[in-house]
Amino acid sequence: MKRVRLAAILFLIVVAAGCLLADVAAPASYAHQFRDLPDAAPSRQHLLGTDDLGRDRFSRLLYGTRVSLLLAPAAALLASVLAAVIGGAAGFLGGWLESAVMASTDLFLSLPWLFLLITVRALLPLNVSPLASVTITFALLGCLGWAGAARVICADARRLCGSDMVLLARASGASGFRLLWRHIVPNLKPVLAAQFWISVPVFVLTEANLGILGLGVAEPLPSWGSLLRELESFSAFSAQPWQLAPLVLLVLTVSCFHLVFKKQELWT
Amino acid sequence: MRKLGKLAARLLLVLGLGGFLGATLVRLAPGFGVDEEELDSRLSEGSMRALRQSNAASGSLAGFYIHYLSRLAHGDLGESQALNEPVRQLLAERFPETLKSVVLGLALGWAAGLSLAMLAVMSRMGVVDLAASLLASVLLCIPAAVLALLFVVAQAPGRLVLGLIVFPKIFHYARNLLAQSAALPHVLTARAKGLGSVRVLLRHILPVAAPQLLALAGVSVSLAFATAIPVEVLCDLPGIGQLAWKAALGRDLALLVNLTMIVTLVTLTANSAAELAAQPPRGGQA
């Protein structure tokens, strides 16, 4: 199991390095069109061929991976920060605030996410730029994904508040912000980190679903979701197995996230 | 009874809040209050002014909200701008289709997930556990939309995708829960006394795990409804998921807001029912 985890970590490092070095490793820009070569098969010049607009698939895969793998953690960070603030405050202060937060998290957890996301997405102006669309998509994911993590953090903060360590700190005269900042928050860090890493693959998959439906990142900026839209051309699908490259990469990356962070999940 | 009252109050609160948020979204959406008739060049200046005045009748947000809620109370959900049909009629046509998919998906997901979890825990064979866990883990890593596309390519019924999305969640949760219950001292004693596997499972393990499994039922309803969107769009099933997607592409916020509210209400009711069912009977063990 240790070897499998090590292999998963190595794979994630290679993927992260590949997408971070996209500017150097990609043979062309993600939007550059080779107009005389639409739907080309893989060659030395185009490792995964070109799409129907003549854009190099390998380059788009590298840039798309960069978008998904940079912004999904950003959304997870936003969700974790919101969860830490809301859940931490509820667990620390208790009383009616804790009841209200618990009721809100129950509500958020029972909301059908995808319905909410497409509702808010439909509110955006039509002329939104690709960069704005990608930022808004992942910001929405972050803002809607805090509830599960907040529950866990609230429970942990409540447990810490009743611990001997905090009792001793109180007896020594620590209270309010100092107690929270010096004694509770540092002990919440492992739970927060676990919640962060659990959220990343969830957001990657949600963006992929939105992208396939045409409600994710706007063209020509690629993401895993928008790259997977190519799979809609079923007839070409069997003749061009290299179109499956984004799917294979997505499944492998999400699997590796699950493998690497499974242990952390168990700790929570 | 008190619990039931609390749950009903929560549902009403959600409906009120959802209605307010929905009304705000519709009111603030770009293009609100602009009628297509204003593009008609044959209209005089006076007619235009009259048209704008009639559209601005419920201009303030509070006025708009009161108007929206009073219509909602009378069962009038408004008209879809994108499809030019009453929302109520669209829902009546499409909701049964989604309900069919969701029920089938939930039945399939729960049957497969729970039976494989029971098999993995009771057989105590590493191979069964590994194979089932591997299958569930792979399914967890594939987006629902991709599964739907693969089903279209294979010409398989798209509704089954909902079951495949629900299955891994149920399996992982049920497997861990049953494994915990199977390790309890009273179960070990029952085994040591020579009770058969089926009897131990039905009499000693399942009753302990049942309340938490029931709590998961509500969450799985929400998951199935969310999955219905990509599945219905890609498999061309005329349900409310497809309707929501069409509304999103046509920027039909009135329809989208109503759809979200109704699905939220259904999932909240399912959650509340699961919560009530998971409550121990009065005087029973916690």
The pLDDT confidence band at residue A250, using thresholds 50, 70 and 90, is very high
- Chain-centroid distance of CA B96 in Å reads 14
Written as six digits, the tokens of A210 are 């939105």
CB contact under 8 A, B138 and A255: yes
Please tell me whether the peptide bond between B238 and the residue prior to it is cis, using omega within 30 degrees of 0.
no
Residue B23: is its pLDDT beyond 70?
Answer: no
Instruction: Look at residue B86 and give its three-state secondary structure.
Output: strand
Of A1-10, A50-59, A257-266, B57-66, the range with the lowest mean pLDDT is B57-66
How far apart are the C-alpha atoms of A180 and A253, rounded to whole Å? 36
Q: Do A114 and B230 touch (CB under 8 A)?
A: yes
Cβ within 8 Å of residue B264, ≥6 positions away: A110, A111, A112, A115, B14, B18
Which residues have C-beta within 8 Å of that of residue A116, sequence separation ≥ 6? A144, B260
Distance from the B195 Cα atom to the nearest Cα atom in chain A, whole angstroms: 31
Whether A249 and chain B come into contact, CB under 8 Å, resolves to no
What is the Cα–Cα distance from A143 to B123, expressed in whole angstroms?
A: 43
Per DSSP, A46 falls in state: S
Q: How many CB atoms lie within 10 A of CB B3?
A: 11
What's the pLDDT score for residue B195?
85
pLDDT digits (tens, 9 = 90+) for B92-129: 999 999 999 999 999 999 999 999 999 988 887 778 88
| CA dist list (Å): B282 to A256, B61, B184, B286 | 46, 47, 24, 9
Give the 3-state secondary structure of residue B155. coil
Backbone angles phi, psi at A257, to 5 degrees: -60, -45
Residue A39 has pLDDT above 90, yes or no: no
Q: How confident is the model at residue A251 (pLDDT cuts 50, 70, 90)?
A: very high
- Going by pLDDT thresholds of 50, 70 and 90, the confidence category of residue B29 is low
Task: Answer whether A254 touches B (CB < 8 Å).
Answer: yes
* Residue A267: predicted pLDDT: 41
Most confident by average pLDDT, A232-246, B81-95, B135-149, B209-223:
B135-149
B222 touches chain A (CB under 8 A): yes
pLDDT tens per residue across span A154-184: 989 988 888 888 889 888 887 777 888 888 8
For residue A64, the distance in angstroms to the closest alpha carbon of chain B comes to: 16
Inter-chain contact B225–A115, Cβ cutoff 8 Å?
yes
Q: How confident is the model at residue B285 (pLDDT cuts 50, 70, 90)?
A: very low
Find the residue in B nearest to A120 (Cα).
B25
User: With 70 as the cut, is the pLDDT of residue B35 above it?
Assistant: no
pLDDT over 70 at B166, yes or no: yes
pLDDT, greater one: B104 or B7? B104
**Which positions 6-25 of B are in contact with A (Cβ < 8 Å)?**
10, 14, 25
Predicted ipTM?
A: 0.82
Radius of gyration of chain B (CA): 25
Phi, psi of A56, rounded to the nearest 5 degrees: -65, 120
pLDDT at B39: 66
Inter-chain touch A234–B138, beta carbons under 8 Å? no
Q: Look up residue A7 and give its amino acid.
A: A
**Neighbour tally for A157: CB within 10 Å:** 25
Contact of A69 with A134, CB cutoff 8 Å: no
Of A144-148, B15-19, B93-97, minimum mean pLDDT range:
B15-19
- pLDDT class for B284, splitting at 50, 70, 90? very low
Q: Which of B30, B153, B248 comes nearest A125 by C-beta?
A: B30
What confidence category does residue A22 fall into, taking pLDDT thresholds of 50, 70 and 90?
Answer: confident
Helices (H), ranges, B124-205: 126-140, 144-153, 160-182, 185-192, 197-200
Rounded Cα distance between A189 and A180, Å, is 12
Helix axes A57-93, A245-267, angle to 10 degrees: 20
| Cβ–Cβ gap B230/A119 under 8 Å | no
Tracing tokens 């396939």 back to the chain, one arrives at: A212
pLDDT at A137: 80
Closest CA to B18 of A110, A27, A84: A110
Please check whether residue A207 is in contact with residue A72, taking contact to mean a CB–CB distance below 8 angstroms. Answer: yes
Interface touch B264/A115, C-beta < 8 Å: yes
Mean of pLDDT over chain A: 84
Cα–Cα dist A163/A185, whole Å: 14
Chains A, B: CB contacts under 8 A, how many? 119
* pLDDT given for residue B100 in this prediction: 93
Distance from CA of B27 to the nearest CA of A (A): 11
* pLDDT tier for residue B282 given thresholds of 50, 70 and 90: low
Query: Which of the two residues, A82 and A242, has the higher pLDDT score?
Result: A82
